[in-house]
């Protein structure tokens, strides 16, 4: 099979009157007197290409197989479409059916399916309008993320997926082992003898590439990672995945104010790229998924983010004219309902909350002079809550050691991390953006499972 043939996106930009060859999957087929209309899509753009088959041009047995779900090649003439709805259409001269699809059993019918049902057919849902749009946006978002950092001279570093240190110190890690679970090697005192395991010690899937990104920032100044991360937390919510992609820039010679400024520029840049390159897809989300999404995105790119400290945020929450399921007092972790109240009701745009109590944040965040708060920041977005978590890092060896101890973490796995403070330490900062949370924000999709090709959540790892 040659690769000659144009994408449907290219065809929409081609001159009418030319011969074209195109391929794709049949969305729908409609027969009317003496003519058949076929809507064809190859994933290259939101719009379907209309193929018009006049009676007698295509052998009946071939046309019989041109049904919803079938994969076909069409050769024909590109003409101006007389009907409203599409600028051009193809007058078919020949059709080849690569693969037919039994219309009685093909699960993806034209009728509107529920998101829950579409999740069960995640192997076919990419062909639907909604998921075509979702995954084109995800692609453009990923490209824009690299462009943003590459244009600013950040070095892309591939941090490991298998790790022996817990970045967040939260213990929510998936173990990686080759030990026989039915016949575990034991230490004299009964514990598992990990010296017999593949890596000679306990190993896990990473929860974050940050610690290793810090190593590279202290050599290359500005770096970022962009890769899969894993959390074994039993959170069955519309915004948690067990496997998600995270973008983590890390900058030497940078404090929390610089970190905050970068996060804002970064979010605005990637939103603009999506608005620019995925106009049809975003228009669809705005029409069919959430009719505030376009306005929200345009507004966000033009207005400054809010900034409040945690202490100010708590004051605002205490003053709120509504009650919360989780009551608020200084020192508590902000729950999703609190985050949403701040962004949706108080500020109506993204808010950056900084300087959280040290007890509720990770060991590596820089201690403030008050001894109670750390230089943490969370970027909160309407509808989603937290989309970014970041901080200035503790660059002072003695303070870092104290923090590791205070959080009850072992020192040994972090010895190399402490070396960075021993040799040529410097103020530095970074953050992590959850790609899927960002996807929810730009598309208006309500469940993180529906912006992820093959979602992994508690009790579910299909496909």
Q: Residues in the site for ligand 4AD, rule: CB under 6 A? A: 167-168, 208, 210, 231, 240-241, 244, 246, 248, 386-391, 430-432, 434, 436-437
Out of Mg ion, ligand 4AD, none, what residue 227 binds, judged by CB under 5 to 8 A for its kind, is none
Cβ-contact 350, 306 below 8 angstroms: yes
By beta carbon distance, the residue nearest Mg ion is: 389
Out of Mg ion, ligand 4AD, none, what residue 38 binds, judged by CB under 5 to 8 A for its kind, is none
- Which of 306, 311, 393 lies closest to 356, judged by CA? 311
Closer to ligand 4AD by CB, 58 or 167: give it.
167
Q: Minimum CB separation from Mg ion for residue 224, in Å? A: 18
Cβ-contact 432, 208 below 8 angstroms: yes
Closer to ligand 4AD by CB, 69 or 389: give it.
389
Helix locations, 278-385, DSSP H: 279-284, 293-302, 310-318, 336-340
Q: Minimum CB separation from Mg ion for residue 138, in Å? A: 22
* Binder among 69, 227, 389, 390 for Mg ion (CB under 5 A): 389
Cβ-contact 227, 159 below 8 angstroms: yes
Q: Would you say how long the chain is, in residues? A: 463
Out of ligand 4AD, Mg ion, none, what residue 431 binds, judged by CB under 5 to 8 A for its kind, is ligand 4AD
Give residues 227-256 in contact with Mg ion (rule: CB under 5 A): none
State how far the Cα of 444 lies from the Cα of 446, in Å rounded to an integer. Answer: 6
Q: Minimum CB separation from ligand 4AD for residue 428, in Å? A: 11
Closer to ligand 4AD by CB, 119 or 231: give it.
231
Q: How far is CA 307 from the centre of its chain?
A: 24
End-to-end CA distance of the chain: 28
Out of ligand 4AD, Mg ion, none, what residue 385 binds, judged by CB under 5 to 8 A for its kind, is none
Out of ligand 4AD, Mg ion, none, what residue 130 binds, judged by CB under 5 to 8 A for its kind, is none
Q: Minimum CB separation from ligand 4AD for residue 225, in Å? A: 8
Closer to Mg ion by CB, 76 or 227: give it.
227
Find the radius of gyration of the CA atoms of the chain: 26
Other beta carbons less than 10 A from residue 104's beta carbon: 6
Other beta carbons less than 10 A from residue 170's beta carbon: 13
Q: Minimum CB separation from Mg ion for residue 194, in Å? A: 29
Q: How far is CA 115 from CA 118, 133, 205, 238, in A?
A: 5, 14, 29, 12
Closer to ligand 4AD by CB, 50 or 452: give it.
452
- Binding of Mg ion by 390 (CB under 5 A): no
Phi-psi domain of 151 (left: phi exceeds 0; alpha: psi -120 through 50; beta: other):
alpha
Query: Which of 173-181, 226-234, 387-395, 439-447 is the region at the interface with Mg ion (rule: CB under 5 A)?
Result: 387-395
Q: How many helices (H) and strands (E) does the chain have?
A: 13, 16
Which residues are at the interface with Mg ion (CB under 5 A)? 389
């Amino acid at each position: 099979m040659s690769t000659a043939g144009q994408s449907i996106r290219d065809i929409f930009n081609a001159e009418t009157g030319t011969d074209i060859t195109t391929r794709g999957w049949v969305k729908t087929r409609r027969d009317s007197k003496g003519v058949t209309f076929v809507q064809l899509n190859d994933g290259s753009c939101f719009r379907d290409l209309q193929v018009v088959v006049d009676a007698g041009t295509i052998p009946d047995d071939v046309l019989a197989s041109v049904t919803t779900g079938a994969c076909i090649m069409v050769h024909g003439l590109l003409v101006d479409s007389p009907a409203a709805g599409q600028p051009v259409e193809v007058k078919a001269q020949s059709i080849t059916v690569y693969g037919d699809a039994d219309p009685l059993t093909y699960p993806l019918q034209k009728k509107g399916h529920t998101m829950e049902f579409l999740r069960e057919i995640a192997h076919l849902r990419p062909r639907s309008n909604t998921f075509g749009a979702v995954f084109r946006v995800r692609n453009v978002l990923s490209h824009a993320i690299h462009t943003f950092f590459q244009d600013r001279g950040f070095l892309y570093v591939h941090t490991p997926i298998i790790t022996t240190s817990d970045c967040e110190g939260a213990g929510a890690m998936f173990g990686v082992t080759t030990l026989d679970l039915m016949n575990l090697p034991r230490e004299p005192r009964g514990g598992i003898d990990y010296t017999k395991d593949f890596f000679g010690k306990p190993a896990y899937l990473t929860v974050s590439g940050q610690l290793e990104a810090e190593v590279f920032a202290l050599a290359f100044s500005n770096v970022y990672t962009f890769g899969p991360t894993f959390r074994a937390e039993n959170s069955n919510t519309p915004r948690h995945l067990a496997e998600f992609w995270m973008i983590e820039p890390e900058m030497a010679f940078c404090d929390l104010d610089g970190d905050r400024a970068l996060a804002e520029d970064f979010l605005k840049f990637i939103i603009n790229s999506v608005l620019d390159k995925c106009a049809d897809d975003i228009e669809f989300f705005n029409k069919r998924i959430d009719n505030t999404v376009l306005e929200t995105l345009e507004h966000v790119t033009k207005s400054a983010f809010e900034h409040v400290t945690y202490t100010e945020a708590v004051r605002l929450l205490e003053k709120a004219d509504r009650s919360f399921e989780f009551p608020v007092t200084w020192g508590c972790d902000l729950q999703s309902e609190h985050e949403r109240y701040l962004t949706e009701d108080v500020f109506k745009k993204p808010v950056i909350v900084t300087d959280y109590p040290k007890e509720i944040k990770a060991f590596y965040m820089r201690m403030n002079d008050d001894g109670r708060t750390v230089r943490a920041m969370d970027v909160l977005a309407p509808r989603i809550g937290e989309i970014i978590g970041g901080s200035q890092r503790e660059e002072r060896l003695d303070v870092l050691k104290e923090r590791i101890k205070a959080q009850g973490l072992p020192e040994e796995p972090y010895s190399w991390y402490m070396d960075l403070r021993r040799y040529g330490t410097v103020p530095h900062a970074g953050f992590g953006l959850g790609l899927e949370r960002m996807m929810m924000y730009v598309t208006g999709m309500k469940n993180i499972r529906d912006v992820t090709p093959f979602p992994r959540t508690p009790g579910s790892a299909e496909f």
